[in-house]
Structure 1
Amino acid sequence: MGRRVRIIGAPTDYGTNRRGVDMGPSAIRYAGLADDLEAADVTCRDVGDLAVPRMEERDPDTEKPPAGTARFLRETRDVCTVLADHVADSIDEGATPLALGGDHSIAIGSLAGSSRDAAIGAIWFDAHGDFNTPTTSPSGNVHGMPLAAALGVGDFAADEYAWTDAPGLAAEHVALVGLRSLDEDERDALRDSDVTAFTMSDIDQRGIASVVDDALAVATDGTDGIHVSLDLDWLDPTVAPGVGTPVRGGVTYREAHLAMEAVSRSGSLRSMELVEVNPVLDEHNETAALAVELAASAFGKRVL
């Protein structure tokens, strides 16, 4: 067998205001994740889910935070610090961590763990920039903040947010692919940063292969490997209906596979996460099944 993969479930919906993504890890497993990865010559070890208190056990005082704060930040911190340790331990033991969300806030933990002892790049396949901060976010939902948090942008530069830091990740080694929905302040922050951003217009004009090749060049330049963050709302809702924040005009089924195949061919994949699968909003578990297919492509599954 080839690569070893460690599957880590992070069933959290703290970062969003829609119920259901906490069931994402179960839906992805049910869709045949282990079998598809093994078909890609991968040895899987599933370590189960992190212990995440249910919605009903949350502190109600964090439901509607005042302006300039983030919802359920304490709970998100608790999940992400544990996930970071699992990701780092997996890499130390020679396995590639594959985190299953849950909402996109789990990326704070994935990036912190993956970059703990190495310089890494990151490719963010997402309709959204995830570059808000507690001050700029219109909603206070942390799933719109993980990339800014990992890079220490704005509010996240304060000592109280030290747990969000991804020490081996620099903005110049981050590429966003497929953007089509940004908040105004978030847009300004991205323009002022060293992050490379490719919108859906770039994909339309240049093609997915060219854009992903450029993203890989950004993320692999002088780094020890890359983290791939795959939000299923990156795809068009007609292909991936089971997501909490769908945006029309996303990538197609084949474009998504081509992108993951390019990631695999690069030989640079260090860690990965699949996020924002919401079985409550899905149709016959097809979004979870698509997540499984794309993960298999990223880890080397081919037609021939």
Structure 2
Amino acid sequence: MLKTVSLIGAPTDIGAGARGASMGPEALRVANIGPILESHGLTVLDRGNLSGPANPWQPPVEGYRHLPEVVTWNRLVHEAVYAELSQGHLPILLGGDHCLGLGSISAVARHCRDVGKKLRVLWLDAHADFNTSALTPSGNVHGMPVACLCGHGPQELIEIGGKVPAISPKWVRQIGIRSVDPGEKRFVHEQGLEVFDMRYIDEMGMRQAMELALATLDANTHLHVSFDVDFLDPDIAPGVGTTVPGGPTYREAQLCMEMIADTGRMASLDVVELNPALDVRNKTAMVAVDLIESLFGKSTLMRR
């Protein structure tokens, strides 16, 4: 695993349906994400926060809310993440809402094309985020990033990164999904997205889900983890704008993170949708940082 990590704050809730995710980066810093990662022998470069347009909080226009601002924020994220990857660093995007995964993952895909690597994306989330303007009445772009990355969305968004589509659905593994809109369900099925939903995890266990999600990774694979904090059950992570009951428990989430760490392949990370305005004494940020620590090798005992 890369030894230098770069923290990139993206303080915006431009794609969300609730205000507050713009405060997420600072809450993660308050929860000591930097010092905790340094305690694992990593060099941590905190690049501060990106500066983008304010949230105008307007209704949708032609199926999208705040599209010009969403495009600007994602271009800023794309360039920042791409710059860190080009320097051999492991970028950690501190969101912000999950629309920013579009900028982040398109940068990772561009980097993989540059260096001739395969890409695997783990999407840890309660939602598939595979909506289009035709499928969602809200127009909130945080429900659309995976679809946009796969080429289904407005031209301004799908072309960020220079290649359309930026990724193939075959490169994505979604884990913890438990809230999918009716039209989105059909679209996910048509596109062949690989989804380990909560029913699968209930029946087969987190271990089997993760073994399948991580199968066939090799030394030439860049593993990107996109961690939406609403992946977690709201009992342990109340500080999100779109809580969905019945998510992974603390122990299931820890196993998920530890199995990712065991691969040694994670090379970029998003942490998104943390909403301190809805949290209890920064509890959710602290749980998120604890799980991120496990992604970087924290375990109860030394593992062979």
Distance in 2, Cα, partners of 1:232 & 1:274 = 7
Q: Percent identity?
A: 40
Residues 86 and 111 in structure 2, CA contact (< 8 A), matched pair in contact too: no
Residue in 2 that maps onto 1:268: 265
Residues 116 and 167 in structure 1, CA contact (< 8 A), matched pair in contact too: no
**Alpha-carbon distance, 1:221 to partner:** 6.8
Residue in 1 that maps onto 2:130: 131
* 1:227 aligns to 2:221 (yes or no): no
Residue in 2 that maps onto 1:78: 72
Alignment of 1:235-250 (within 5 A): 235-250=232-247
Alignment of 1:151-166 (within 5 A): 151-153=150-152, 155-156=153-154, 158=155, 161-163=158-160
1:278 to 275, 279, 282: 275
Residue in 1 that maps onto 2:21: 21
Alignment of 1:71-150 (within 5 A): 71-118=65-112, 119-150=118-149
Residue in 1 that maps onto 2:115: none
Change (3 A) 1:222 1:138: farther
**SS at 1:9's partner residue?**
strand
Residues 229 and 237 in structure 2, CA contact (< 8 A), matched pair in contact too: yes
Distance in 2, Cα, partners of 1:50 & 1:209 = 37
**Alpha-carbon distance, 1:117 to partner:** 2.9
Residues 149 and 166 in structure 2, CA contact (< 8 A), matched pair in contact too: no
**Alpha-carbon distance, 1:275 to partner:** 0.6
2:60 to 58, 61, 65: 65
Residues 150 and 166 in structure 2, CA contact (< 8 A), matched pair in contact too: no
Residue in 2 that maps onto 1:289: 286
Q: Flag structure 1 segments of 5+ consecutive residues without an equivalent.
A: none
**SS at 2:111's partner residue?**
coil
Amino acid aligned to 1:288: A
**Alpha-carbon distance, 1:65 to partner:** 2.2
Distance in 1, Cα, partners of 2:156 & 2:43 = 40
Residues 239 and 279 in structure 2, CA contact (< 8 A), matched pair in contact too: yes
Amino acid aligned to 2:104: S
Residue in 2 that maps onto 1:213: 211
Residues 112 and 167 in structure 1, CA contact (< 8 A), matched pair in contact too: no
Q: TM-score, normalised by structure 1?
A: 0.92
**SS at 1:19's partner residue?**
coil
**Alpha-carbon distance, 1:161 to partner:** 3.6
**Alpha-carbon distance, 1:40 to partner:** 2.3
2:196 to 191, 198, 207: 198
Residues 78 and 107 in structure 2, CA contact (< 8 A), matched pair in contact too: yes
Deviation track 1:76-126 (CA, whole Å, cap 9, x = no partner) reads 111111111111111111110000111001100110111103131101110
Deviation track 1:246-285 (CA, whole Å, cap 9, x = no partner) reads 0000001111111111111111112111111100100010
Q: TM-score, normalised by structure 2?
A: 0.92
Amino acid aligned to 1:109: G
Q: Number of aligned pairs? A: 295
Q: Flag structure 2 segments of 5+ consecutive residues without an equivalent.
A: 113-117
| RMSD (Å), alpha carbons | 1.9
